[in-house]
Amino acid sequence: MKQLMMLLLLSSIAYEAYPEIIAKRLPAHNSSIKEYQSTSCCSPTFDCPRGKRGRRGRRGRTGATGATGPIAPFNLRDELFINASMMTDMIGSTPNTFFTAIYGTPTVLSAWELVNPFDPENPIGTQFVIPSTLDATQPVTLTIHCFNLLLEAFGDVRFEVQIDYKSNGEEFGANLPATGYAETLFSGDIPIIDPIFSPNGRYFTVTIPLNAALMAGKTWSELVVSRVPTTNNNNYQGSIFLTAFSIQYTKTVS
């Protein structure tokens, strides 16, 4: 009986020592032995060391493109304006025409009367500061704001625009080293339509593209607008009234 018990005890000791003996005799890269060691070392009495992280799996396919979001508001357009009181003529006058009855009483409306295209005091001018945010790579447009009254006259009107752009320290004028106006531009022939009832006025606008590239690096501008004869010789025989200029441009992205 004692021999039997001794045999069982020796077998138990050998069984517990078997993995350690195998690990010493076989190469460490044997995956089956590693698996056996990992299994046999776990015990309720102590924690096994964390094994190496396995390889990352393949990346899955790219999902479908989502729906396009709403279009952002077009908020980079801007505008500067010049009203009649900010203009002058060749003798330094203020607006030469005032209306007091168009809207009934009271009406306060001032404008520059452009009598005919052959009037020597016809040119109306102003100056303005070129916005520092103006993007000179994008279109810039001058809009001339006018109106006419019920005169039972017919025909067209046409405008000439002379404009200059200067930066700090530059000379301006007609004599060298100045170069005169940077641009001289003309509108098309604009048909004039009378309002239906008097003393109503009919408001209309004329747009003329400016050369934005000439404004690059400039800070000041001189602008003169004149009524000139039409190309079709069908000149409107009544007066028109200049009430404002505006310049539309795109702001630079900050």
122 and 242 inside one domain:
yes
Write the pLDDT tens digit of every residue in 180-226. Answer: 999 999 999 999 999 999 899 999 999 999 999 999 999 999 999 99
For 37, phi then psi, to 5°, come to: -60, -40
Same domain for 121 and 8: no
The CATH number assigned to the domain holding 97 equals 2.60.120.260
Computed over every residue of the chain, the mean pLDDT equals 83
At a CB cut-off of 8 Å and minimum separation 6, what does 232 contact?
156, 189
Share of the chain above pLDDT 90, in %: 58
Query: Using omega within 30 degrees of 0 as the cis cutoff, is the peptide bond preceding 95 cis?
Result: no
Closest CA to 147 of 206, 104, 207, 189: 206
Q: Which domain holds residue 173?
A: 77-250
- 33 and 112 share a domain? no
Write down the pLDDT at residue 30: 47
Residues 116 and 229 grouped into a single domain:
yes
Cis status of the peptide bond prior to 70, with omega within 30 of 0: no
The tokens for 64 are 């479908």
pTM score, two decimals? 0.70
Task: Please tell me the total count of domains within the chain.
Answer: 2
In a domain, 50, yes or no: no
Residues 29 and 135 in one domain: no
pLDDT in tens, 88-144: 998 888 999 999 889 987 888 999 999 888 876 689 999 999 999 999 999 999 999
Joined tokens for residue 138: 């994008």
Judgement on whether residues 126 and 188 belong to the same structural domain of the protein:
yes
Whether residue 228 sits in one domain with residue 126: yes
221 shares a domain with 114: yes
Could you tell me if 35 and 81 lie in one domain? no
